[in-house]
Amino acid sequence: MSLLVVGSVAFDAIETPFGKTDKIVGGAATYISIASSYFTKNVNLIAVVGGDFPKSDIKMLEDHGINTKGLQIKESEKTFFWSGKYHNDMNSRDTLVTELNVLGDFDPVVPESYQDCEYLMLGNLAPKVQSTLIKRLKKRPKLIVMDTMNFWMDIALDDLKETLGLVDVLSINDEEARQLSKEYSLVKAAKKIMAMGPKVLVIKKGEHGALLFNNEQVFFAPALPLEEVFDPTGAGDTFAGGFIGYIASTGDTSFENMKRAIIYGSGLASFCVEKFGVERIVNLSDKELEERIQDFVDLVQFEIQFE
C-alpha cells in the first residue's frame, strides 16, 4: 500500500559523549522514509533541500525504493541545518545551531502521482505546513499519522490544534504530552489530547518505551535495554517510520495491528541509536531485524494462567 512521507531532509552535526560528526544527512523525513522502506516499497517523499545537498544521499534514499519525485531541490539555497550536543545521560541535549534555510518558506507541493496515497506520515514540521499538505490531497488518506514537538506548542499552538483536528494518530514524547495537555499523569494527558482530535495517541518515553492509547485500550511497548546509546538523534522518527511502514504494509489499522507496528517501530529505533545518524539503519538485513523483534518478544513475554 502506498505511503506518503512529509518532513525535513536536513544536515545534522551531532556531539555525544562518544564523539562528534561533521554535517551528516538527517531530518525527520529521512529517518521516517528509510525506516518505513523496510516494510513497504511504495514510499513517496515530499521535502525540500538546497543545492548543497549531496546527490549521493538522494541516491541512497532511492536505493531504499523511496520515490523522490516530491523532493524539491532549491539550487541557490541551503539545506536545513541543525546542530546539537547531548549531555552525559543522553536524555537531554542542547541545540547549538538551527538554520532553517530552505525550510523557512517550505511549500509542500504534491506531485500528481502521489495523490492516491493511502497512508500519510506527517513528520515534525510547522503545523501550518502539515495542514496545508493534508488540504492539498484530493482524497483523504485511510490513516494520517502526525509527529510534532514542544517547539510548535510554544510558538504555534493554535495552528497545532487545528492540525490535530485533521489527523488520526499523534506521536509525541512524554514531556510534550504533559505540555500539550497540562496534565502530569500520562493517562489523563492522553484523554485530553485525544479529545483534541486524534483517535489514537502514541507517547514516546525514550529509554522507558512507548504507550499506545485509544479511547478504550492502552498498550505498552518497552525499549530494549541497551549497553550503550551511542546517538539518540532520529530515534523517534525511526520509530514513527517503522510504525507507519508496518501499518501501510499490512493495510490493517486495527489497535491489535498498531501494537505490532509499535514493536516494529521500537525495534528499528533500537538499531538507530547504535551509531551516528542513519548509519545503522541504512543496511539492515531481514535476519537482523527479525532477531531484534524476537528480543522484544523475549523481553516482555510471560505466561500467567488463572485457575
Q: Tell me which residues touch a second copy (CB under 8 A).
A: 88-89, 184-188, 205, 208-209, 211, 217-222, 225-229, 256, 259-260, 263, 290, 293-294, 297-300, 302-304, 306
302: its cell numbers:
510471560
Strand partners of residue 210: 204, 221
Q: In the complex with a second copy, which residue's Cβ is closer, 135 or 225?
A: 225
Residue closer to a second copy (CB basis): 11 or 264: 264
Question: Minimum distance from CB of 122 to a second copy (Å)?
Answer: 25
**Per-residue b or e along 195-230, where b marks 16 or more CB atoms closer than 10 Å to that residue's CB:** ebbbebbbbbbbbebbbbbbeeeebebebbeeeebb
Q: Using CA atoms, how far apart are residues 23 and 203, in angstroms rounded to an integer? A: 30
Q: Between 58 and 221, whose beta carbon lies closer to a second copy? A: 221
Residue 221, H or E segment: strand 218-221
For a second copy, give the closer residue by CB, 79 or 266: 266
Distance in Å, CB of 218 to a second copy, minimum: 6
Residue 139 CA from chain centroid, whole number: 23
CA distance 102 to 79: 6
In the complex, the smallest distance separating the C-beta of residue 23 from a second copy, rounded to whole angstroms, is 28
Angle at 29 between CA 259 and CA 133, to 5 degrees: 95
Q: Which three cell numbers stand for residue 3?
A: 505511503
Q: What is the DSSP letter of 178?
A: H
Closest approach, Cβ 256 to a second copy, in A, equals: 8
Count of CB atoms within 10 A of residue 24's CB? 16
Secondary structure of 43-55 as H, E, C letters: EEEEEEEECCCCH
Nearer to a second copy by Cβ, of 75 and 228: the residue is 228
Instruction: Using the minimum distance from each CB to a second copy, give the nearer residue, 93 or 259.
Output: 259
Closest CB 228 distance from a second copy, rounded Å: 6
Least separation in angstroms between CB 248 and a second copy:
17
* Local structure of residue 282 (DSSP, 8 states): S
Phi, psi angles (nearest 5°) of residue 67: -75, 120
Shortest spacing between CB 87 and a second copy, in angstroms: 11
Complex with a second copy: residue 70 or 245, whichever CB lies closer = 245
Amino acid at 62: E
Between residues 65 and 222, which has the closer beta carbon with respect to a second copy? 222
Shortest Å, Cβ 113 to a second copy: 30
Alpha carbon distance 74, 102 (integer Å): 7
